[in-house]
Amino acid sequence: MTDFVISPPPQVALPVAGGGRFPVRRLYCVGRNYAEHVREMGNDLREPPFFFGKPADAIVIDGGGVPYPSHTHDLHHEIELVVAIGTGGNSIRADLALEHVYGYAAGLDMTRRDLQAAAKAAGRPWDMAKGFDHSAPIGVLAPARLIGHPGKGAITLSVNGVERQRGDLQEQIWSVAETIAYLSTLVALRPGDLIMTGTPSGVGPVARGDVLEGHIAGVGGVSATIS
Ligand code: MN
């Protein structure tokens, strides 16, 4: 018996390579973590990265559809390395941070760029630019015990078979370990948390019918179709 007055929402979970599912608690995102992307957005390289969030239920399981969202005419793709936290903590030391990682996946930080630009101009929150429904397609999660901790390697995104984004994980301004260390001073990280670690340059618009295919060397892929 339960005393919930409505049915509780389903647990969001990512499929794991080799079997099983990873239950998702929160989804954090890092802004401005690759120098070339910071430059293409016209921002200051000396400014430290910062964090925003998406709801966990904005996740689209790999291969799923992303309905073109309302209130935008400029939906953008951002391919990102996703870090899955297996053990939590506060103020985690950078030199121990990777021990808290369960695994890695490729993900897409879909963005209503026009709403984000308006929010920036007005000093308003980014939630509706970043955290809309279906805004976070994520691929199969690869456990670190199988793939290790990728500190370098190509991160790419193609749209309809044409490459749009290409970078290398070693171009991240803040490493995964440094990101975990800093984020865990702001909030307690818990098992089930995901961190999207920023996108390389080449972000751009998508249209209905586009097929997005992202890949991260040594990690895996993510695909989504805009419907
Ligand atoms: Mn992003």
Tokens of 50: 């910062």
Predicted confidence (pLDDT) per residue in 170-196, tens digit? 999 999 999 999 999 999 999 999 999
Q: Ligand 1 centre from 142 Cα, in Å?
A: 20
Q: With a cut of 80, say whether residue 206 has pLDDT above it.
A: yes
Give me ligand 1 centre to Cα 67, in Å: 19
How, if at all, do strands 50-54 and 59-61 pair? unpaired
Query: If you measure from the C-alpha of residue 146 to the centroid of ligand 1, how many angstroms do you get, rounded to a whole number?
Result: 26
pLDDT for residue 77: 98
Long-range CB contact pairs, 8-11, < 8 A, 24+: 9/57
Per the CB < 8 A criterion, the answer to whether 85 and 191 are in contact is yes
- State in words which class domain 13-226 has: alpha beta
Per-residue pLDDT band for 2 (boundaries 50, 70, 90) equals: confident
Could you tell me the residue ranges of all domains in the chain? 13-226
Mean pLDDT score of the chain, rounded to an integer? Answer: 96
This prediction's pTM: 0.96
CA of 20 to the centre of ligand 1 (A): 27
Residue 1 has pLDDT above 70, yes or no: no
Give CA–CA dist 140/21, Å, rounded.
Answer: 9
How many angstroms separate the alpha carbon of residue 198 from the centre of ligand 1? 5
Give whole-number Cα distances, 219 to 71, 83, 138, 183, in Å.
34, 11, 12, 22
Q: Is the pLDDT confidence value at 46 over 70?
A: no
Average pLDDT for residues 106-129, to the nearest whole number? 97
